[in-house]
Amino acid sequence: MNTTIRMRFSKTGRARYISHLDLIRCFERAVCRASLPAAYSEGFHPHMLTAFATTLSLGFTSNAEIMDLTLTEPLPGETVMTKLNAVLPEGIRIEEAGVPVSKYRELAFAEYRVEIPCEDPVQLAEDLEDMLAQPEIITEKKTKRGMKEVDIQPMLQVLEVQTTERMLVVSLRLASGNNGALNPSLVTKVLLEHSEIPAETPRFCRTALLTAENSKFF
Amino acid sequence: MNLLPRIESLLMQVQKPAQYIGGEIGSMVKQHEDIDVRFAFCFPDTYEIGMSHLGMKILYSLINERDNYWCERVFAPCADFEELMRANEIPLYALESLDPVREFDMVGFTLQYELSYTNILNMLDLAKIPLYAKDRGESLAPLIVAGGPCACNPEPLADFFDLFILGEGEEVNLELMDLYCDMKKAGASRQEFLRKASQIQGIYVPSFYEPVYHEDGTIKEIKILEDAPAVIRKRIVKDFDKAYYPKTFVVPFVETVHDRGVVEVLRGCIRGCRFCQAGFIYRPFREKSPETVNRQCRDICGSTGYQELTLSSLSTSDHSCLEELLTKLLPYTEEKHINLTLPSLRVDNFSEELMTKIQGVRKSSLTFAPEAGTQRLRDVINKNVTEEDLVRTASIAFAGGITTVKLYFMLGLPTETDEDAAGIAALAEKLMELFYQTPGHAKGKQPQISISCATFVPKPFTPFQFEPQIQQKELEQRQEYLISCFQPKNRKRIKVNWHQYETSFLEAVLARGDRRLSQVIETAWRSGCKFDSWSEYFHYDRWEKAFADCGIDPAFYANRRRSFDEVFPWDHLDYLLDKAFFIQENQTAHKEKTTENCRQKCAGCGVNRKTGRACF
């Protein structure tokens, strides 16, 4: 009997340069190295049954990635986690393993922690407030059919703003999933265009994937 | 000096950043304080090409088995990253420690193809290491070394390297590093080290040899300086079946050209195709036992998680126990969902049932390399493949539903005439007809036949080392003639490809070149040449100017017939092969006669006499 295990994993350090397609291959190889009884699809080109909740942009870190792995025999989540962690590359770690609860298509929000190193974080925080106060935030977004004007205001929620001496740290909850998704890099791009504060390249970390009811995927 | 923060600040601006940062499974990270000798293994091409190379995997693991030695990987950065590295003054670094290459003890390049030579200079420059050996001073490190197939005539690179390693590296690399380790501790100078190293079999120190030229530009003699041996003989591993083989590979994150497990099943080749350098310089022919291959396959797949596995060699179907080997291996690969591939299989060698099992359903095309269009010319080059073989193989393939056939030929082979070009067209058209005549061919589909014509490049240590390369004008006429030979209805159905002449011409110049070419390579590189094997980067006009600036006529190296008694730039390098054998084979070729393969009858190349061991 096939059983599916759901795992939450983190992607940190050098692993953030691994693209999504490369990450899938990396996990499949890890499953083989760990000698886990993976299930395969039927047909001429059988492939390992893995499924990822969503993609993570290249260069982002995360401690909230979700993947499913289907096995041909039931194994405790703890065992799968331990075996995989023994063979995964530096920067990729399974943090939790258990049974799937929600379906991936219920994904509605993703939360991010964004760090923007800059000269004047306090002023940048004010600029952010100004930006959010606008009735709409129009920007250009790259789509499959070219550049398109969008209003990101309805997809954007700021949870927390902190400043340190040289850095603005913002927690964001953004729309994610089939009903439209907003990439946090678009938010920082608009902010830095809007502001006159010189800043370095922001750093992004995904901190949660949530359903519309704010529940998690376990 | 770990460069991580500086590298990371640039990575989001480049394509496939994961190739520049290390951290792959199987990569070997050691503690600096435990290490006596650091070796930077440099592949003078990009990560995705270099990481596909088996030799690097073997030698990398071999060195790292020793606790006090540390071997790391270095590749040529792609143009986007190179530009950023130069702009931000990031020197060339190794992927395990992210330390600059110039801090290493030994920097070793693998010489896989001639058109990578400018990349070597580019990498030395990126590493901020002086290009010329004479400019690198008296200190021992960094010692710049090279090995690999093109080391059989390293003369065009002689001025850039401290030493070359001839033949197989499995044993001699460690001997060399042991000597280095001792002499480093004793505080020896580079010159003192090179003197000692030149006494190790397989180590060629070019600065101890000086060519003297005739007025016509050919070599009069190779003068030996210092106390170096008159002839440098290549190394081979004593027992191939027991030779070192890695238990794991570095598993890349980004997809590489050959991204899979590889086990080498045999080394050398029995075939003796007269154009093929690999067929001669890797002799003697040696096999691994089915047990050894099986164990190594399981080790590699188990430790890497690869789900694709290749049994590699120059001609895998020449393994004497292939059927037994596969019978042992297939249950394992099937259980583990591993896709097994065998390159260059001969269909006639074993059962169809086994064929189906190996190739599964993924095989959609048939590839065949007759190399020449007529039986006469195939006899000249000793490619012992007949039209019957081709027809039989193709019939089986067509009946099995295959519609695509790729044919590989060479143009410009010795003794070639228009008739041989016509033979290429005739062969392709015959296959076209055969498709429709074969019962059970794919219905409602047209056969796709494509022909690829490389330009023949004469190489050292082959019976054709004496031959001129075809001139551009003659080649282009023959290409045009070949096209004219196709029936009009087939001109659109049969695709014919060739590379530009200049690429093969430059390869021919460098392959049989001498030391006077070092300055040409440097001049070409300074004018912006790199990645010469990538057509989008190849600028022949710059090479042409470099030859002119250095007063060198490239045709002297490429297009000149060389007499049997001429002293060649590589004559002091001993690859266990007799020059007399090549002369005899050349004469046999011109008589349009074939030579039997090594298993049928010893052709007397010299290997068994020099090693003191029968090949079979």
Going by pLDDT thresholds of 50, 70 and 90, the confidence category of residue B361 is very low
DSSP A144: T
Q: What is the Rg, in whole angstroms, of the alpha carbon atoms belonging to chain A?
A: 19
| Closest CA relative to residue B161, chosen from B108, B115, B122 | B108
Going by pLDDT thresholds of 50, 70 and 90, the confidence category of residue B48 is very high
Alpha-carbon distance B406 to B344, whole Å? Answer: 13
Alpha-carbon distance B450 to A151, whole Å? Answer: 52
- Beta-carbon separation of A91 and B23 below 8 A: yes
For residue A44, list chain B residues with Cβ-Cβ distance below 8 A: 361
Mean pLDDT value across residues B542-555:
98
* Residue tagged 């045999």 (tokens): B266
Q: What is the pLDDT of residues B252-282, one digit of tens each?
A: 999 999 999 999 999 999 999 999 999 999 9
| Closest CA relative to residue B21, chosen from B94, B120, B80 | B94
Assess whether pLDDT exceeds 70 at residue B1: no
- Beta-carbon separation of B307 and A32 below 8 A: yes
Mean pLDDT value across residues B179-185:
97
Phi then psi for residue B155, to 5 deg, are: -55, -40
Q: Which residues of B touch A (CB under 8 A)?
A: 9, 11-12, 16-18, 21-25, 251, 253-255, 301-307, 336-337, 361-362
Mean pLDDT value across residues B444-456:
92
Alpha-carbon distance A23 to A9, whole Å? Answer: 12
Selecting from B12, B302, B337 the residue whose C-beta is nearest the C-beta of A40 gives: B337
- Beta-carbon separation of A30 and B305 below 8 A: yes
Does residue B284 have a cis peptide bond before it, meaning omega lies within 30 degrees of 0?
yes
Interface-testing mutation among B337, B338, B339, with chain A (most A C-beta atoms within 10 A): B337
For residue A40, list chain B residues with Cβ-Cβ distance below 8 A: 337
Interface-testing mutation among A20, A24, A32, with chain B (most B C-beta atoms within 10 A): A32
C-beta separation of A163 from A176 below 8 A: no
Selecting from A26, A40, A201 the residue whose C-beta is nearest the C-beta of B253 gives: A26
Kindly give the interhelix angle for B540-549 and B501-511, rounded to the nearest 10 degrees. Answer: 40
Selecting from A21, A32, A59 the residue whose C-beta is nearest the C-beta of B12 gives: A59
Assess whether pLDDT exceeds 80 at residue B347: no
Pairing of strands B163-165, B203-204: antiparallel
Q: Residue B369, Cα to own-chain centre: how many angstroms?
A: 18
Q: How far is B240 from chain A (nearest CA, A)?
A: 28
Selecting from B12, B23, B305 the residue whose C-beta is nearest the C-beta of A32 gives: B305
Interface-testing mutation among A14, A36, A61, A189, with chain B (most B C-beta atoms within 10 A): A14
Interface-testing mutation among B10, B93, B254, with chain A (most A C-beta atoms within 10 A): B254
Selecting from A14, A29, A40 the residue whose C-beta is nearest the C-beta of B21 gives: A14
Q: Give residue A137's pLDDT.
A: 92
| Closest CA relative to residue B173, chosen from B152, B203, B195 | B203
C-beta separation of B70 from B38 below 8 A: yes
Task: Domains for chain B: give ranges and CATH numbers.
Answer: 4-233 (3.40.50.280), 260-362+576-616 (3.30.750.210), 364-498 (3.30.750.200)
- Beta-carbon separation of B255 and A22 below 8 A: yes
Going by pLDDT thresholds of 50, 70 and 90, the confidence category of residue B366 is confident
Alpha-carbon distance B325 to B291, whole Å? Answer: 8
Does residue B458 have a cis peptide bond before it, meaning omega lies within 30 degrees of 0?
no
Instruction: Calculate what percentage of chain B has a pLDDT beyond 90.
Output: 86
Q: Which residues of A154-171 are buried (b: 16+ CB within 10 A; e: fewer)?
A: ebbebeebebeeebbbbb
Assess whether pLDDT exceeds 90 at residue B69: yes
Please report the ipTM that was assigned to this predicted complex.
0.92
Pairing of strands B308-312, B261-264: parallel
C-beta separation of B446 from B403 below 8 A: yes
Going by pLDDT thresholds of 50, 70 and 90, the confidence category of residue B459 is very high
> What's chain B's average pLDDT?
94
Residue of chain B whose alpha carbon sits nearest to that of A32: B305
Q: Give residue B397's pLDDT.
A: 81
For residue B24, list chain A residues with Cβ-Cβ distance below 8 A: 89
- Beta-carbon separation of B18 and A19 below 8 A: yes
Q: Output the CA–CA distances (angstroms, integers) from residue A65 to A52, A55, B428, in the order listed.
A: 8, 9, 54
Phi then psi for residue A187, to 5 deg, are: -65, -45
C-beta separation of B376 from B422 below 8 A: no
C-beta separation of A46 from A98 below 8 A: no
Going by pLDDT thresholds of 50, 70 and 90, the confidence category of residue B360 is low
Assess whether pLDDT exceeds 60 at residue B362: no
Assess whether pLDDT exceeds 80 at residue B346: no
Lowest pLDDT segment from A37-41, B361-365, B499-503: B361-365
Tokens of B268: 């050398």
CA angle B165, B168, B169 (to 5 degrees): 65
Going by pLDDT thresholds of 50, 70 and 90, the confidence category of residue B356 is low
- Beta-carbon separation of B304 and A29 below 8 A: yes
| Closest CA relative to residue B514, chosen from B75, B213, B168, B95 | B213
Q: How far is B22 from chain A (nearest CA, A)?
A: 8
Alpha-carbon distance B254 to A26, whole Å? Answer: 9
- Beta-carbon separation of B12 and A26 below 8 A: no
- Beta-carbon separation of B304 and A33 below 8 A: yes
Q: How far is A187 from chain B (nearest CA, A)?
A: 18
Assess whether pLDDT exceeds 90 at residue A143: no
C-beta separation of B382 from B272 below 8 A: yes
For residue B339, list chain A residues with Cβ-Cβ distance below 8 A: none
Alpha-carbon distance B117 to B146, whole Å? Answer: 11
Task: Domains for chain A: give ranges and CATH numbers.
Answer: 3-100 (3.30.70.580), 105-211 (3.30.70)
* Residue tagged 């270095």 (tokens): B74
- Beta-carbon separation of A22 and B253 below 8 A: yes
Tokens of B507: 């390869």
Residue of chain B whose alpha carbon sits nearest to that of A86: B25
Helix-, strand-, coil-residue percentages of chain A, each rounded to 5: 30, 40, 35
B149: number of Cβ within 10 Å = 18
* Residue tagged 């760990």 (tokens): A34
